[in-house]
Amino acid sequence: MSQSKLTTYKGAQMRFAGIGVIAAGVLAMGGYAWANTVGDVAASPSEPLELPTWNPDAPATGPVQLIVSVPEQRVSVYESGRLIANSPVSTGQEGFSTPTGVFSILQKKKHHRSNIYSGAPMPFMQRLTWSGIALDASNQVPDYPASHGCVRLPPEFAKKLFGFTEMGAHVVISGTESAPLEISHPNLLQPIPLKRPVTAEAGSTKTERSVNANPPVRILVTRRTGRELVHDVQRLLKGLGFEPGELDGWMGRDTGASIARFQESRGLQSTGAMSMDLVKELYRASRKGKPPTGHIYVRQNFAPVFDAPIAIARTEDPLGNHLFTAMDFEEDATEARWLAVTLNDGARDVATLGDADEEAEISSAPASAKEALDRIDIPDSVRRRISKMLTSGSSLAITDNGISIETVEKGTDFVVLTH
């Protein structure tokens, strides 16, 4: 832990002593005045403010985001970008490391038992993946990684947190110190006020934002990695009449046989294998021009809504991994305040479709949040469609790693894995 955070943490313990909030050393709650930033100008905490009252029985008034720092073994709770609480945690030990990336709370159960580890109790469980990663209470929360992959929380803190969060709240698990910073950029989507007449008293009409009650929209932008390319190939094969089986983005027997039939029909060597030449030939046969360099996916309420190709400049350079979250805005607003979190956990080496004839691989340092936004070009029609859906707490994730295996067809937001 950095010296500034350690000082604040100890100061918070002293202020809490004697008022019965929770035993010193288990929970520290702190408030920081974070410097507003544009782009990626580094922000650092100012002098600590008076601690706010956190009433877990009252709902949050703005988007809630949790950031788990694996190096610090600490979780920080943010509401509307403001740090309101933090606590020690214990993440996965060697051999059972906790994955890093962007997650959402998928399920909440006060009384839960592990279906992996002999029914071990996991009270106040908040599920992050369907493969077994969760936040849960434990009496064993040392200041080092000790779990089997989950994020252990002190019991009293876990109880308070359970009562404060809602389904869909983002949880960022980072291999480096990360914090949300305010960012302004023309490529960040902005709300379009949607007005509709609503039945009112006789002779009167009132309007309201039609999407106001909808869940936040989740947006993923990624380069054309393996799964995106396979999904593209499957979609094009189906459109040309070569049934590839389920359009799931995975190379199976049906997809391979479909590729072989297409190759044979074009007088090509019938290999049934994926290649950049195959992708280009499919685009030529479908009369769709050059293959796109990126893709955008949109989800809402843990299910797909639509997806579309986009352009990403300099595909040979990594975008990095970034999460942008829209803060509260009025129903007639045309501009939202956005916060960015960058996960500097490194990018995976994944094949992509670049401008060159050969497959390109990530070989340089990941881009900053601003640089990543600079390089994406979302068609106006797609931007407008998403902007009409935009609500408080909506998010945009940018990653080089494509759609992860933890992102299932229905039942998750986009799970971005960085390690």
pTM: 0.76
- Measured over all CA atoms, what is the biggest interatomic distance in the chain, rounded to whole angstroms? 82
Please give the domain boundaries of the chain with CATH numbers for all domains: 3-18+27-179 (2.40.440.10), 182-224+292-417 (no CATH), 226-286 (no CATH)
In the block, tokens 């720092």 appear at 69
DSSP string, 96-157: SPPPPEEEE--EEESS-B-TTTTT-B-TTEEES-TTS-EEEE-S---SS--BSSSEEE-HHH
Type of residue found at 349: D
Q: For position 362, what pLDDT does the model report?
A: 41
Helix, strand, or coil (residue 78):
strand
Distance CA 257, CA 244 (A): 7
Give strand pairing partners of 85.
Answer: 77
CB atoms near residue 126 (< 10 Å) = 27
Specify whether the CB–CB gap between 273 and 288 falls below 8 A: no
Long-range pairs, 54-59, Cβ under 8 A, ≥24: 54/29, 54/84, 54/85, 54/160, 54/164, 56/159, 56/160, 56/161, 56/162, 56/163, 56/164, 57/163, 59/166
Q: DSSP H helical segments within 210-327, as ranges? A: 226-239, 253-265, 276-286
Q: How far is CA 40 from the centre of its chain?
A: 19
Q: What is the pLDDT along the chain (419 residues), one digit of tens a residue?
A: 444 443 333 333 333 333 233 333 333 333 322 223 333 333 333 333 333 445 556 678 899 999 999 999 999 999 999 898 999 999 999 999 999 999 999 999 998 887 776 577 889 999 999 999 999 999 999 989 999 999 999 999 999 999 999 999 999 999 998 899 999 999 999 999 876 544 444 444 443 334 446 899 999 999 887 777 898 899 999 999 999 999 888 899 999 999 999 999 999 999 999 988 999 999 999 998 889 899 999 999 999 999 988 999 998 899 999 999 999 998 889 999 999 999 987 544 444 444 433 344 444 567 899 999 999 999 999 999 999 999 999 999 999 988 898 999 899 999 999 98
Distance CA 24, CA 27 (A): 6
Q: DSSP H helical segments within 287-391, as ranges? A: 369-374, 380-389
Radius of gyration of the chain (CA): 23
